[in-house]
Amino acid sequence: MTAPIEVSGSETEAQPDAVLAGVDRKAIQGRSLGQIAWLRLKRDKVAIGGGIVVMLLILMAVVGPFLVGDPNQPHNDLIDPMLSRPKTGIMHSGISSHHWLGVDLPAGRDMLSRIVNGAKYSLIISFLATILAVVLGVFFGVVAGYFGGWVDTLIARTMDIFLAFPLLLFAIALVGVFPDSAFGLSGNGLRVAFLIFVIGFFSWPYIGRIIRGQTLSLREREFVDAARSMGARAPYILFRELLPNLWAPILVYATLMIPTNIIFEASLSFLGVGIKAPTPSWGGMLNEAKEVYEVAPHFMFFPGMAIFITVLAFNLFGDGLRDALDPRSSR
Amino acid sequence: MKRSAFRGSAALAAVGVTAALALSACGGGDENGGGDGAFDQASNAIVNASDKKGGTLNLLRTGDFDSTDPGNMYYATAWNFSRLYARPLLTFKSVAGQGNLDIVPDLATGLGQASPDQKTWTYKLRTGVKFADGTPVTAKDVKYAVARSNYSPEVMEKGPVYFRQYLENPNGYKGPYKDPNLDNFKGVTTPDDQTVVFHLAKPFAEFDYLATIPQTAPVPKAADTGDKGGVNYAKSVVSTGPYKIDKYEPGKSISLSKNPNWDTSDPNRKQLVDKIEVQLGVAADEVDNRQMDGSAHIDVQGNGVNAAARSKILSDPELKKNADNPKSGFLWYTAISRQVAPFDNVECRKAVQYAVDKTAYQAAYGGTTGGDIASTVMPPSLKAYQKFNLYETPGDKGDVAKAKEHLKACGKPDGFSTSISYRTERPKEKAAAESVKASLEKVGIKVDIKNYPEDGYTGGVVGDPKFVKKNNLGLMVYGWAADFPSGFGFLQQITDPGALKGTGSSNISHIDLPEIAKMFQDVPAIKDEAGRNKVYQEIDKKVMEDASIIPMLYAKNLYYRNPKVSNVFINYGYSGMYDYANLGLK
């Protein structure tokens, strides 16, 4: 039997009570699997590029809002009152030394500021929604995979139902009946919580299925049998034996889920059920731009590019991470 | 009346303004290298006046008409279009500019003869008017048309029901589909074949406006039965106008051809082209582009061109000279709820009146071609309009100092928090709400923007006092146009305390001043128009003093006219869109 390939960096945790003490991988390889993965990842220039862009995006979302101006400050004087488009700039975009990405329509708000502030909400929502989905997905996936039987049937069928749900329509309908304030939250705080809930709650089955499959194969392994024979109870096996061996797929699929959720958040904002006006969001900006894209192409171009670059960076990084952590997959 | 906001009608600019526009428009046209038209020419003149006959007129629009049945339509564009094949008792005069707000006889020989108490209105029909099948039109056909369109809500659900509202109905007549015996319908009597008498339950001096509604166009009872009757009458309307509907495929197309039995002495219409083809359900940008490239003639959607075409037209003199920018009769405004604290205090309402930047609101509605800055409730397109401005600010951009003064007087020197609502489906209203928020935050008023679906906005959101209070909707983005271009038609629904009943009222500011209620009660009995207009001006001033409506824009639309089309002019009787009943081809 070869070393359990799913094991990643947290090696010591993965080997409690010296259950696997006989398996001496260090003697063979001299490096931890985490180190191997990191070496592989470092060699993948595309993934590193994606990772750097992701870091920059996160930096932009965290620090950016303090550096750019108020995203809701109108500059009506920059808009031609008859032609209703920015007076100056390349292709009437309003691009100038004050407004690097031009201004929007019809109020003349700074596009750079709106994109930077939009990144904040886009990333917060997609990160937290992903965490929610991962927590739910891993919990139910592990439980279903480990226990099998009727528990598995129940959870697996529930996942099927969730996956078959017309999600976008459901979200639109739900936001329509959503009150202005609930759970001690109101306004945008409530909307953000709502979006996190909707996106996270409906995407957990994707990761749940994968974890369930992995658990199904893991639970037949010797170290699980060993733990069980030593009297370990189910919770212990689930969280101390199985979970540490699942970190790799969890990390990979979480990374790949973030861009999906960014697009989902943008879609909801585009359809008018996202963040409330006038708070900027990339999807909301695209929605505003669709009325005037022929007059002011920059209004659609920049938020579109923001979504494109973010999603691409996360995907490239996620793909690289998968390749690095899972040598079985073809590169 | 609840669907009044759906259609608009307008009147015309005050004489001075109109004349000035006409002069500048003509001048501009010459500078643009001559050609046949000038920018905004059709707003005040007939473009390409001609009697040349022949050809096929290609009309198009993005949607479909709410119906082609004259008894079952509400949109202004449908009322306008219906005159091609339906003659109501009265109609708006087919002349260019100011004059077309005048009501003139159509099927009738003259305007209504009112009894001294304004409760009985008598119309005499022209002789020799025939249906397309050759049978003569009688007074009974008019009575039947009114009965079917107003008393059968289960069948005719789209049109307004003014007649049901004003006519007496002592025995609870239920409409001809349930009660075929027209003698039971006492609201209208027909002493002979040429006379129609309307019996009102209460005086209404402006009844002639109701007689212009296509619901008074005659309908032969025999044609409105069985499979072809009821809602299906829309496909087989029996024409009295210059054209008849040959084929109507809902959502796709309408084909019209000349009506051989049209009464050629009709002064309000022309029969120039041989055929009229209407293409329905065309993509919005395609509608604009096809007019500009010449492959279609006139858009009969009646909302004007889209943003892309607007920019193209306004920046190209060759296109601009074929465009018109008339007032539509709509008022875009933000209502202030008098019920929501602290707006129950007039000083807080006044603070907002001074704080708003109306030019930003204008930008939200497409800039200067989207509307003129407003200061009164009644738009200048009404005869009753009188100019005044109680809350003047420099350049209409808002006055922070004055706003703060009033905030102090209101006891809120540091501002307060409130909400503004808009209709989700309307991006312009969203931008408008954002502009109000930006203006008010300059004086310390925090504004939360809330959006609600268009469907049910008046019924269950801004028109529901409880909902407004519960959601703290101090400000509400709204728009209004009258069903008929009089001060009463415009003001009554949005400012009359009497229009406040439960939910669904368009008096969304919740104006409940007894003196305004009294004026609305008395005005319908005033016989002369000038006297009534004085009252309307009084009401307008009272509302503005009460500061519960912030008039933002007198709406304007930008239309493109294919230069090949003749006899093009704006008809202010139908929301300031092109008159569809007189078009020909050069």
Instruction: Delimit the domains of chain A by residue range.
Output: 43-325
> Which residues does A contribute to its contact with B (CB < 8 Å)?
72-74, 76, 79-85, 106-108, 176, 180, 187, 272, 276-278, 287-288, 291-295
**CB proximity under 8 Å: B 311-370 to A:** 311, 314-315, 357, 359-360, 362-364, 366-370
pLDDT at residue B30, rounded to an integer: 36
> DSSP strand E in B6-124: where?
56-60, 90-92, 103-105, 113-114, 120-124
Query: Is residue B496 less than 8 Å (CB to CB) from chain A?
Result: no
Q: Which CATH number fits domain B327-556: 3.10.105.10, 3.40.1390.10, 3.40.50.620, 3.30.465.10?
A: 3.10.105.10
- Per-residue model confidence (pLDDT) at position A175: 73
What is the C-alpha end-to-end distance of chain A, expressed in Å? Answer: 24
Which residue is closest to B439 within chain A, CA to CA?
A: A74
3-class SS string, chain A? CCCCCCCCCCHHHHCHHHCCCCCCHHHHHCCCHHHHHHHHHHHCHHHHHHHHHHHHHHHHHHHHHHHCCCCCCCCHHHECCCCCCECCCHHHCCCCCCCCCCECCCCCCEHHHHHHHHHHHHHHHHHHHHHHHHHHHHHHHHHHHHHCHHHHHHHHHHHHHHHHCCHHHHHHHHHHCCCCEECCEEHHHHHHHHHHHHHHHHHHHHHHHHHHHHHHHHCCCHHHHHHHHCCCCHHHHHHHHHHHHHHHHHHHHHHHHHHHHHHHHHHHHHCCCCCCCCCCCHHHHHHHHCCCCCCCHHHHHHHHHHHHHHHHHHHHHHHHHHHHHCCCCCC
Query: In chain B, whose CA is at the least distance from the CA of A84?
Result: B367
Q: Do B368 and A82 touch (CB under 8 A)?
A: yes
What CA–CA distances, in Å, run from B67 to B47, B168, B408? 29, 27, 53
Structure tokens at B400: 């922070």
Q: Where are the domains of chain B?
A: 9-276+559-585, 327-556
Cβ-Cβ contacts under 8 Å for B324 (sequence gap 6 or more): B39, B40, B41, B42, B43, B558, B559, B561, B570, B578
CATH number of B9-276+559-585: 3.40.190.10
Mutate to test the interface with A, among B430, B446, B472 (most CBs of A within 10 A): B430
A320 φ, ψ to 5°?
-60, -40
The torsion angle over the Cα atoms of residues B360, B363, B369 and B373, rounded to 10 degrees, is -20
Q: In chain B, which residues have pLDDT < 70?
A: 1-36
Q: How far is B403 from chain A (nearest CA, A)?
A: 19
Nearest to A295 among B308, B450, B453 (CB): B308
> Which of B370, B438, B450 lies at the smallest CB-CB distance from A74?
B438
**Cα–Cα dist B585/B570, whole Å:** 17
Q: How many helices (H) and strands (E) are present in chain B, helices listed first?
A: 16, 23
Peptide bond connecting A280 to the previous residue in cis, omega within 30 degrees of 0: no
What is d(CA B67, CA B175) in angstroms, rounded to the nearest whole number? 19
Q: Per-residue pLDDT tens for B98-114?
A: 788 899 999 999 999 99
Distance CA A93, CA A114 (A): 15
Which three-class secondary structure state does DSSP give residue B320?
helix
Across the interface, do B435 and A107 touch by the CB < 8 Å criterion? yes
How far apart are the C-alpha atoms of B489 and A259, rounded to whole Å?
A: 54
**Residue B230 CB neighbours (<10 A):** 18
The token pair at B276 is 């009229």
Query: What is the token pair recorded at A171?
Result: 């979200």
Lookup: tokens for B362: 């204008």
pLDDT computed for residue B514 by the predictor: 94
Per CB-CB distance under 8 Å, the chain B contacts of A189 are none
Give chain A's residues under pLDDT 50. Answer: 1-14, 18, 330-331
Please state the pTM of the whole predicted model.
0.84
Question: Could you give the CA distance from residue A283 to residue A267 in angstroms, rounded to a whole number?
Answer: 6
Q: Which residue of A has its CA nearest to B365?
A: A106
ipTM value, please give it.
0.78
Top-tier CATH class for A43-325 = mainly alpha
Per the listing, tokens 């093009």 go with B568
**Contact across the interface for A107 and B367, Cβ inside 8 Å:** no
Q: Which of B417, B403, B480, B479 is nearest to B450 (CA)?
A: B417
Please indicate if any CB of chain A lies within 8 Å of the CB of B433: yes
- Cβ within 8 Å, pair B367-A80: yes
B471 contacts on A by Cβ (under 8 Å): 180
- Condensed to tens digits (0 to 9), the pLDDT of residues A117-152 reads 999 989 999 999 999 999 999 999 999 988 888 999
